[in-house]
Amino acid sequence: MNGLSNGVKITARIGMVNYINTAPLYEVWRRTVRRADWRITEAPPSVLNRMLHENELDLGFVSSQEYALHPGEYRIMSDLSISSTGPVGSVFLFSELPIAGLDDQLVLLSSQSQTSVSLVKIILEEFHQIHPRYRSGLASELDPGAERPAAVLAIGDEALRLAVEERYPHRLDLGEAWQEHTGLPFVFAVWGVRGDFCREEPDTVLAVYQELHRCLREGKERLPEISAIVAKRVPMDEAACYRYLRGIEYDLGSEKQEALRRFFEYLIKRGEVPASALPLNVCGKQ
């Protein structure tokens, strides 16, 4: 149904986040899953969001907010996420000033994740009553002639690199800030499935689900080895990479679903997503 690749009929177009936070799952997947009929696309969340929405993917890790923006189009694959209970370690607001001093200051927002952009606005505006000025972009691509931002939102491997460099005197871990205010974990990404694909190809959805969970189980058992492999991509110390990956969570149990609902309630109140984002639509009973 999804065309041909090297003469093989593609039965599933799958999107995988290309940050090391997926390494416990994806490193095993790349070495052990041999399905020529499943096509993988590696990209930042913002690219996968667009591709899923434009029907260039059937399923994959996407920003939590992407699901909330188009709830009628997607289902959430059960018990899979990229999340944290407390500090996440790779979604930071790095700042030249204390957080309380950012009112009316310029904040550079990562262009790679919708969820983190909305989350930092909620934390600053709703939790701290601070209203900065915002601009979208990447810290690594700052224009020398432009106004220097007082703070930078960075995610994924870029955030890990900035944390290692210790360039900014202040940093706010968004997962930790969310938990301090709500008492809940935070779900940064979900495994989104296009609704039509979920209905028409339930056996394929189940097969992908089972492989994802197998890879995740094996990846957790091999975490020291995987940490040693991926740490050099940042680069960061292997022990630090191991501690970081141990803190990333991949489940979507009842507390995580409650956290998603709470986040969506904020987004609905702020007019960023439609009210139909709730209730959550989970794909199948895997």
Give the model's pLDDT for residue 146.
76
pLDDT in tens, 66-109: 999 999 999 999 899 999 999 999 999 999 999 999 999 999 99
Average pLDDT for 117-146? 88
Give the model's pLDDT for residue 110.
86
Cα–Cα nearest to 168, from 92, 86, 110, 247: 92
Give the model's pLDDT for residue 144.
72
| pLDDT at residue 237 tops 90 | yes
Rounded to the nearest 10 degrees, how much is the dihedral formed by the CA atoms of 79, 86, 163, 218?
Answer: -30
Phi, psi angle pair for 117, to nearest 5°: -65, -50
Band the pLDDT of 112: cuts 50, 70, 90. confident
| pLDDT at residue 285 tops 60 | no
pLDDT in tens, 143-193: 777 789 999 999 999 999 999 898 899 999 999 999 999 999 999 999 999
Question: Integer distance in angstroms from the first to the last C-alpha of the chain?
Answer: 23
Q: What is the pTM of this model?
A: 0.93
Mean pLDDT of the chain: 93
Domains and CATH numbers, the chain: 4-85+186-283 (3.40.190.10), 91-182 (3.40.190.10)
| pLDDT at residue 44 tops 60 | yes
The rounded distance, in Å, linking the Cα atoms of 78 and 91 is 24
